[in-house]
Amino acid sequence: MSGFTPKALRCADLYEYLETLAGGCPEMGVELFGKTMMGARIPAVTVGEGETGILLVSGHHASEWITGLALLRFLFELSEAIRTGRRIYGLDTGFLLSQKRLTVIPLLNIDGAALAIDGLPADHPFAERLIGMNGGSEDFSHWQANARGVDLNHNYAAGFAEYRKIEAENGIFGGAPTKYSGSYPESEPETSALCALIRSVGFRAVVSLHTQGEEVYYSTLGYAPAGARKTAEDIVRLTGYRLSAPSGTAAYGGLSDWFIREFDRPAFTLECGKGKNPLPLEQEFGIYLRLRRFFFTLPTMV
């Protein structure tokens, strides 16, 4: 499709993708809804005029930026369908988006992704502290946290106190490459901005993309909102992923856990792709193909 060539999702490239989208499809609005720890502006793309809002988020974890490319590829294909009136999977996207509204955040953890992709710049203001949190290593390719060493997907008010005990049992008492939940829920500017956006918009459902394992989660500690399991089973049918339930550290403090508890509405976490993080760029197109029908069908599902 025109305008989209996948590449490692650096901040400048993210903005360039979104500028191209907005220029070619006026129906797609770009909002800068918050800033990262290092001051980067976090963008969200909104398309559709319906009252029912659906949120798709990628890039909580730094080295998992590849799913943001899948979301961007979807937006480029969606914009093309809007311009040409082309039906996809028999769906009239124009009509669907008159009834529903999609908000897409391709990369929440912009600072962390920069570390995972390009490593630590010599002039980074937190260089010494980050190397210390990284066990003395300058290899940040497996880094998951933000620039303060906080794992954003454990920074929500969902079993936060319980998770702090698990942290201590695992010897985590401060900033780290992964698993550190922060000083308090929403302590990080990235999660704080996202929660403020969610509270202000009132989304009907949330989808959070991660890697890897090709699994679909729809519950938090055994609880799921009404209808969530049926929708999760539909996602499984559309993607070929398997239904699963989070366990261990994955069961606490995530966006989906918080959204379910806070609003009693459906939230789904999709673990995309297979292999070992960070997944290679070559997997992006395959990940998108597995998700494509789900992305376009999603407005009919909630």
| Angstrom distance (rounded) from CA 241 to CA 166 | 29
How many Å is the maximal CA-CA distance in the chain? 56
Angle at the Cα of 230 (from 302 to 224), degrees rounded to 5? 85
| Angstrom distance (rounded) from CA 63 to CA 103 | 22
Annotation says 252 is catalytic: yes
Single out the catalytic residue among 167, 186, 215, 271: 271
Return the structure tokens found at 159: 């079993």
Half-sphere exposure of 108 (CA within 13 A, CB side): 30
CATH of domain 11-117+188-301: 3.40.630.10
| Angstrom distance (rounded) from CA 287 to CA 170 | 32
Return the structure tokens found at 149: 């060493």
Annotation says 17 is catalytic: no
Angle at the Cα of 19 (from 270 to 108), degrees rounded to 5? 35
DSSP string, 13-32: HHHHHHHHHHHH-TT-EEEE
Half-sphere exposure of 219 (CA within 13 A, CB side): 14
| Angstrom distance (rounded) from CA 94 to CA 217 | 29
| Angstrom distance (rounded) from CA 32 to CA 236 | 32
User: Which residues are within 8 A (CB) of 239 and not within 5 positions of it... i.e. 6 or more apart?
Assistant: 214, 216, 270, 290, 291, 293, 294
pLDDT score at 2: 60
pLDDT score at 1: 52
pLDDT score at 246: 84
| Angstrom distance (rounded) from CA 214 to CA 211 | 8
pLDDT score at 251: 83
- The beta-carbon contacts of 15-18 under 8 Å, at least 24 apart in sequence, are 15/43, 17/72, 17/76, 17/106, 18/43, 18/45
Single out the catalytic residue among 252, 262, 282, 288: 252
pLDDT score at 3: 73
Tens digits of pLDDT across the chain (302 residues)? 567 999 999 999 999 999 999 999 999 999 999 999 999 999 999 999 999 999 999 999 999 999 999 999 999 999 999 999 999 999 999 999 999 999 999 999 999 999 999 999 999 999 999 999 999 999 999 999 999 999 999 999 999 999 999 999 999 999 999 999 999 999 999 999 999 999 999 999 999 999 999 999 999 999 999 999 999 999 999 999 999 988 888 888 999 999 999 999 999 999 999 999 999 999 999 999 999 999 999 999 99
The backbone torsions φ and ψ at residue 293, rounded to the nearest 5 degrees and listed phi first, read -65, -40
Query: For residues 115, 116, 119 and 125, what is the CA-based torsion angle, rounded to 10 degrees?
Result: 10
